[in-house]
Structure formats: C-alpha cells, structure tokens
Structure 1
Amino acid sequence: YYAPIGIGVPAQYMNCILDTGSADLWIASNYCTSLTGCSSTVPLFNSSLSQTQVDMNTSFSVRYGSGQAQGEMMQDYVAFAGYNVSSQAFALVESVSRDLLGGDISGLMGLGWQPLAASQAVPWWQNLYQGNALPFPGFAVSLSRFINVPNASSIEPGGSLTFGYLNSSLYSSEINYVPLPSGQESYWLVKMDQVAVNGTNVTSWASTGGTNGQEDMVAIDTGTTLIGGPRDVVANIYAHVPGARAATGAYTGYYSYPCSANVTVGLTFGGVTYNMSTADFNLGPFGIDPQTNVSTCLGAFFDLAFSGGSRISWVIGAAFLKNVYSVFRASPPAVGFATLSNS
C-alpha cells in the first residue's frame, strides 16, 4: 500500500510505501542505479531541483526483515494528505535491497514513533501531532481487498489513509481503543486477547486468563502483508484446519491447507473479536498434495521468531487489517479498531 508524497520546492511527487511498522522516511535518490538496487522503472528524486533542501551531513542506514537501505540525511518540505512539514528530516538513499522497491515505488514513509527510527528523526506524522496541526491526534487506515476479485489489475485503489480526522462513513461500530504500554511508544504495540479458528480459541494465554510472557503483544503493521507469530501458536492454528501441513524448503515456517476449506480466524482485541475474511487467510494455490491429491493453498499465518528480550511476539499485517477500520491515536497512545461499514 503506497501513496504519492511531495518533497522539496518545487515538489517532486514520489510514491512511498506506508508503513506503521517503521519510522523513517526515505526516498531513492538520482544516485541510486540498477547496480545499487533501483531498477529502471523506479522514479528517482533529483535533489538539485529543490530550492529548499538542506544537507544534514549525516549518513543513514536502516534494516528491515526484507532488506536494507543506505544513504544521507536531508531536510526539506514534505507534503502529504493536505499537510506540509517545512523542515522534515528524511534520507536520500543511494543503495537499497532489490526486494524493497519496484514498479513506480520510490521510497517508504514510516508511520511508527520516533524511538523506532533508525535515523532518530521525528517522523512526519509525529511532527504534525507535536505541532498541534491535527484536529484528531493521529491517523486512520482502511485497506482495500482485491485478492478475491477476478481479473484485478496489478495496481488498484488501495483504500483510505487520513490524518487529523476519522472517516465515519467507513466504519459502523464504536472504535475500540487498545492502549499502548505506558512509556513504550515505538511500534504501535498492543495486547491481543486471543486467536480463534472457526470459533475455537487456540491461544494458551487466553485460556489461562493471563499472559504467557510477552506472547500476546503484537505490532500493528501496514507494511507487512501477512501475520507472523510464535511457532507453537501458529502450529495450533493450523492444527484446527483439517488437512493442513507444514511447508518445507523455501516455505519453511508456512503451512498449506486444502483450498476448499472454509477457515475463519478471529483476532480479539479489547474484548472484541474481529473475524478475517476467508479470502485474506488464503494466499493462493500451493499445488496438489501428493498424499491426498487435493488442491492446496498457502495460509496467511507463518512462524516468526524475534530476538530474545523483544517485547513483540506477533506482527499483524494487511491480511488482518483489510477486515477492520484501524485508528492510530497519539494521545492517549492507542490503536483502535472498528467494524467496516457495508459501503
């Protein structure tokens, strides 16, 4: 999910991935080549065209689960969604992992909190909040679904991202706010009550009424496609799907299951359960099971291990977020969910 962001004066509009799971803003510069990760289709920012850019004389490097980027820090006007920050710090990258950019996407806008930023720069949205520019202290996301739409093109309308207000036409319930742990603003990190498969709880901490270490703490991440969690819980999810099997080789950590299975997974936050569409659980065909001769598909939940001491045990991506209206509130810090309206 991406959108155009205006950088510099005059503005150059660059498509950026919108990522609540990170906090840096970076753009591919005109020094990035096919040898350093920028294909011929990627639009590049030409810093010599901006009349207002300031070189911060600071190097930049960030690493993600899917790659990394390096470059130099700058300051300039950054305009997006009807707002403008006049001295926003961001990186112009000269080297980037090939998996991070493609098509006409030129960069990434991190929508997490400042402590998460590799650059230590204040994120664009947080500058707006701290400058009292947002009538509602945060932003809201509604992501569209095309995985089950026949003949959908490779690029379709992605949904809605609003800063400073909530679009009440997009949701039909009260917004259910789940607080961030006090003083731990970095990821949009909240407690998940339970995971259920076709109505059956599969999470041990929910059945005991308490927490299993940090097993129930999740990062809400628009920049992730799927849902990653602890190996034992993920295995238990698929144990409740008849015919599911652990994948091997390059797909180790993932699971296949019969495509004909009707699997409804519900995630519970703040005492409210939000069910995922069966379409979002299904990533697509995975071949014929040689033992049963049944067509199989790949599931959206996968094993994800974090380093020791991490507060996070789950990353909840678009596979879930397409099923709710999501609100990221700065004060008091919380993530809110609401049921989508029929429209």
Structure 2
Amino acid sequence: MHKRVRSILAAFILLYSAAAELASRNSSYPPHVGKRMQGGLHLPLSRRLIPKRITLGADTGVAGLGDFFDVTYSVLIDIGGTSLPVVLDTGSSDLWVLSNVCQGTCSSADTALYPPNTFHGIGLDAALVYGDSKTGTYARGMIGYDAVSLAGLTLQDQYFAAINDTNTSVAQTRCSGIFGLGFPLNSVIWTDMFLNQQQISRPRNLRGDVVSRIAAMRKRWFDKSVLGISSFRHIDPPSYQSMPQLKRQVTASSAIVSSFRVSGPFIPRLVSLGGLASPMFAIALQRDTIEIGGNEGMLSIGGLPSGVQNESLTWVPVRQYTLQQEGLTQDASLEAYPVAWEIPVDDVFLDGVKLPRSQLCSSNISLSALIDTGNSLIRGPPDVISYIQNMLGGPHFACSSPHTLAFQIGGRMFPVDPRDLVNQVRSGDAQVCGANLAQTDVPVLGGGGYLYSWSLGDPFLKGVLAAFYYGSFTGLSQDPPRIGFLSTVPSDAGQRLEDAVSAASAEQYDLPGTKMLPPSSLSSPLSTGIGGIAMASSFPGSAHGISGSNQAGQVNSARERMQVGPAATLWCSFFTLAMWTFSRMFA
C-alpha cells in the first residue's frame, strides 16, 4: 500500500512539475504539449511513438553565416553540446553531420566531428544522394535523435543522420555536414521513418537493438511509389507504373502532416509545433570573392531581419505538386503539397535581351526555378546555357566587361550582380573570367522528377534577401507557401567589377577570395543597405595576408584572407576545383 501511495505521489509531482514549467513560459504553446485554457492547463493524453520532450528557446532567432570562397555557406548548430558548422541548403531537407567514426574524406584536421555520446539511434540507416543524374555524391549513416539548437531555438529530440561514410567534400570546406531547409516531403530521413512506422507501432528500444536495420544503399523506388515523389534531386528511378493504385491510396495527409511534428526536419518541425512567431526563415548571403562585402551573411528564423519590411519584398507562390505531377494531395480538399522551394519565373534576360525558351523542355511545363543555397552556380537548360555562353563570347571572356543575367520573377527584374556572375579562371591573370553557369537536367512530364529547369544558387542569392515562407501544412489553400525577394544589387555593380579587376591587375594580384567560419552569433551591423538589409564589412584597399585561427574543437568567427600574390597558382587551382566539385555536389 505504501509503495502504491509513493508511486501515485511521485506521478503527481512529475505532472505538477511539467504543468508548472509550461505555465512559466511566455511563448505560445505547441498544440501537443499543452494549451492554457479557462480553468487551468489542460494536457491532452496521447500515445506517442517516440520521446516528445521539446524546448522552444524563443519564437525567433538570428545566426551569422560562414562563407568558403562563396562556394558554400554555413551556419553554426549545436548537437548534444557540440558546436558544428553545417552547409546551409535550401535544395534539400535533411540534417546530417560527420560522426567521429567517419573515415576517408571525414578525416580533416580542421573539421569538427560529432561525438555520438548522446546520440540515440533508432536502427534505421540513411542513404542520402545529392546532385543530378550525372553525379553520384552520397552520405551514409545512422538515423537517430539528439538535442539540436540553432540561433537560440532548441528541439530536444530532433532526428538527423550521423554519417560514417561519404564521398562529399564538406570537410574540405571546414564544415561538418549539411543542414537541409526544404519541405518534409523531400526528406530522406522523414520518408524512412514514415514508411517504417508500422514496424515500430509499439514502444521499442530506440537504440536500435530491436528495429531491423535497413541496408544503407537500399533502393528507394518503393518510397517513390508510396509517396509519389522522389527524395532525391533530379534522380529519376525506373518505372513504377506497376503500383499506381498504391501510390494514389496514400493521400491520408492527416497522418503525414502529423508526423512532421515528430520526425520532420528541424525548421518544418518548429513550424508544425507552432514554435515560431511566423512559419518562415530568411537568408542573406555575403560576398567573399571579387569585391568583398555586400550583404551581411545571416539566417533569420521566425521572421524577417530587423529593419526589413514585409511589403518591400516581391512574393511569389511555391509550386505545389498534384497527383498528376507525382505529388501528394489532402483527402478532403485535394490540395497539392509543396516538395521543394520551386517558384515560377516569367522570363530570363542577358544584358536586357530576353533569352529564348529551351527547346529541350515540353511547352506544357511552365518555366520555374529552384532556389538553392546549396548550389554554388546557376544551372539551367543545356541549350539556353550554351546560348548564353555564346553571347558572352565563349567559355572565357574579359572580367572587366560586366554582364547582367536577370530573372523576371513576379513581374519584377532580379539581376545577378555582375561581380557574382564571374570567376577568375587563369592563374595570375585577373583579366580572364568564366561564368558561374552550368547545365542541368531537363524536366520531363511524367518522368517522376522535378519540373524546374533552372536552379538559382549562390550567385543569384548574393544579390537578394530571400524569405522562405512555409505557410500552413494543414491549410495550404488558406496559407500557401511562398518566397519573397528583395534585390540588393547596386545600380553601379558593373562599375564596381571593373574597378576591382583594375585594382587587382595593377598590383599584379589575382582577384581576392576569403573564407569565413560561421560566428556563434550575429554582431550588430555597422550599416544597412537597400531595403534596410545589414551590410557586411569589406576589406579596404588591397591588403593581403592571413588572420584568424581555428583551435581544436572550437569554431570561431575569424575571417581568413587568402594570400593571393605568391600563392596565386594554388588559389586559382583550388578555387576552380572547389567550384566544379560543389556544383556537382549540390546541383
């Protein structure tokens, strides 16, 4: 009897403590945690598949970005008490980090690795593939959960992959993994867990000794048949017409959307839990090549950066894929769901001349573009890219002759800054440049892939503030997803390119480039530019040298200016190799 009383008393104390903790919070309560109502705090009783602890540190957050020669941009996250810089990638949806058991490309002295001391594996393996149909970049590891924090926002049981085998080059950029910011339906980790939920429908040991392990390189064609989408980017599987009925039966969006709260990617999960002031994030990328400066690199979660007004942005809808487009719909309303940050494009222009539409694409496919921070180039249809290169005079042209590639979006022109369109291709000669352009796969109706023909990567994003709004996962017609853009390209950008080339040539230096590790917080900006966007500090004159340090196990915010005089050959060779590698990685 006394044991029973003690047990009841202990349970009462635990419930009281939980209620007191929730009552002390000032922010809004996630629906499944509890909601303050008249008469007290009501905690719904629900049977959960996995641990449900959640800590929302704030409803908004801001973090500074790192920059590796404008090839990759990174943000600092904390997993299980370890600070890790990860590549910011709006073109994918999964979070993964290199574990300390990873071999080969992971063994870089400058790369922080994740020690899985607090990692809770669930017995499922992840096989993530990046690139287009011509690439084979992969990352393999175990799916599990740990506490993940970013910009003051914390989720205690966030699912991600601890990678132990990869041929990516993230470690060469001093990064520890990739932070996908896409939609849940494009997440390999979420897909694996959702499809496996019948195997773990009752409480089990989440450390992996009960749930049968899926082979790391298993085929994902069944996944595509069930969800009607591909978790890869432009990787088209074999025909799946043998199971069309099964694909169309999986329209039970209530179960799918509910799972976002538990196993969705980090920011979509925050959105699903109601943990953000607004279901969005915004990105501004800095420039660390050619003429260093531009926008202050920052990631804002839950709202726009301070000083930026919502009405100053041009907002356009995100493409939602229907069942006919191999997508997913809701049961009742038959709403289509977004898969990627893909938006409509009116037209494309070079130096004010409208470019012809691709003859390789079906006229029934509307012109659209993926907005992709994980892509270091601008990728487009092969015939249009060839047309542009011919207009530029070939693969190599004079750096001092500025060209403007512009995308008309939502009726407004968004130019690529001429300084971001080019890169130096010949060591010791700052006068010879190439375009940051590449060809990509052509969309095919009924082919199972995506329908965008352009991928607007970092050269485009350095000249805008981009705001990514998820909308409501449960009411897309009332609050649909969209992207807002605010151009930050100055009117004299072409002249600035000419001045930068002249200065480098006069001093017999290559065009400069720097690498900056992500800071732990965002410092107060010294000035603001177009639309109130914070500006990055630039390096005056033509000073060269190396500054900053990277202590073992620590990530600091020091910029490292690369020596560009005697080391010109090394710099140009490495930069060209890096540009090619990452254009293939994050296509």
TM-score, normalised on structure 1? 0.84
2:487 is matched with which residue: 333, 339, 342? 339
Q: 1:336 to 1:283 in 2, by over 3 A?
A: same
1:40 is matched with which residue: 78, 90, 109? 109
The aligned residue for residue 299 of structure 2 is: 161
1:232 is matched with which residue: 378, 383, 402? 383
The aligned residue for residue 204 of structure 1 is: 357
Q: 1:288 to 1:231 in 2, by over 3 A?
A: farther
Offset at 1:103? 4.3
Offset at 1:140? 0.2
1:125 is matched with which residue: 267, 272, 278? 267
The aligned residue for residue 252 of structure 1 is: none
331-340 vs 221-230, which moves further: 331-340
- Cα distance between partner residues in 2 of 1:119 and 1:281: 34
CA contact (8 A) 2:77 2:83 kept: yes
The aligned residue for residue 250 of structure 1 is: none
The aligned residue for residue 253 of structure 2 is: none
- Runs (5+) with no aligned partner, structure 2: 1-72, 191-262, 321-335, 472-479, 489-528, 536-587
The aligned residue for residue 139 of structure 1 is: 281
* 1:15-65 deviation per Cα after TM superposition (whole angstroms, max 9, x unaligned): 1111000011001111112x35432322111112x2xx3211100110112
* 1:152-196 deviation per Cα after TM superposition (whole angstroms, max 9, x unaligned): 9xxx99601010010143579721111012324121011111111
1:47-196 maps to which residues of 2 (within 5 A)? 47-48=116-117, 50=118, 53-65=119-131, 67-120=137-190, 121-149=263-291, 159-169=297-307, 174-182=312-320, 183-196=336-349
Matched residue SS, 1:127: helix
* 1:71-129 deviation per Cα after TM superposition (whole angstroms, max 9, x unaligned): 10111111001111121100000011142322431111100011111222511000010
CA contact (8 A) 1:215 1:313 kept: no
What amino acid does structure 2 have at the position aligned with 1:321?
L
The aligned residue for residue 78 of structure 2 is: 6
CA contact (8 A) 2:443 2:453 kept: no
75-84 vs 60-69, which moves further: 60-69
CA contact (8 A) 1:256 1:286 kept: no
Matched residue SS, 1:105: coil
Instruction: Report which of the two has the higher share of helix.
Output: 2
What amino acid does structure 2 have at the position aligned with 1:38?
S
- Cα distance between partner residues in 2 of 1:171 and 1:234: 35
Q: 1:282 to 1:92 in 2, by over 3 A?
A: same
What amino acid does structure 2 have at the position aligned with 1:199?
G
CA contact (8 A) 2:421 2:459 kept: yes
- Cα distance between partner residues in 1 of 2:82 and 2:301: 21
What amino acid does structure 2 have at the position aligned with 1:149?
E
- Cα distance between partner residues in 2 of 1:172 and 1:60: 38
What amino acid does structure 1 have at the position aligned with 2:339?
S
Kindly report the root-mean-square deviation, in angstroms, between the aligned alpha carbons of the 2 structures: 2.5
Matched residue SS, 1:195: strand
Aligned residues: 313
CA contact (8 A) 1:24 1:110 kept: yes
CA contact (8 A) 1:55 1:75 kept: yes
- Cα distance between partner residues in 2 of 1:337 and 1:317: 14
Matched residue SS, 1:72: strand
- Cα distance between partner residues in 1 of 2:139 and 2:129: 7
Matched residue SS, 2:441: coil
- Cα distance between partner residues in 1 of 2:318 and 2:121: 35
Q: 1:112 to 1:297 in 2, by over 3 A?
A: same
CA contact (8 A) 1:173 1:339 kept: no
Instruction: Report which of the two has the higher share of strand.
Output: 1
The aligned residue for residue 402 of structure 2 is: 262
What amino acid does structure 2 have at the position aligned with 1:41?
D
- Runs (5+) with no aligned partner, structure 1: 206-210, 246-254
1:25 matches 2:95: yes
Q: 1:46 to 1:190 in 2, by over 3 A?
A: same
Q: 1:159 to 1:230 in 2, by over 3 A?
A: same
- Cα distance between partner residues in 2 of 1:27 and 1:117: 15
Q: 1:295 to 1:171 in 2, by over 3 A?
A: farther
Offset at 1:239? 3.3
TM-score, normalised on structure 2? 0.50
CA contact (8 A) 2:141 2:162 kept: yes
Larger Rg: 2
What amino acid does structure 1 have at the position aligned with 2:351?
N
The aligned residue for residue 217 of structure 1 is: 368
Q: 1:266 to 1:138 in 2, by over 3 A?
A: same
What amino acid does structure 2 have at the position aligned with 1:159?
G
Matched residue SS, 2:111: coil
What amino acid does structure 1 have at the position aligned with 2:110?
T
> Aligned residues: percent identity?
27
CA contact (8 A) 1:25 1:109 kept: yes
The aligned residue for residue 303 of structure 1 is: 439
Which stretches of structure 1, 4 residues or more, deviate above 6 A after TM superposition?
Answer: none
- Cα distance between partner residues in 2 of 1:135 and 1:270: 26
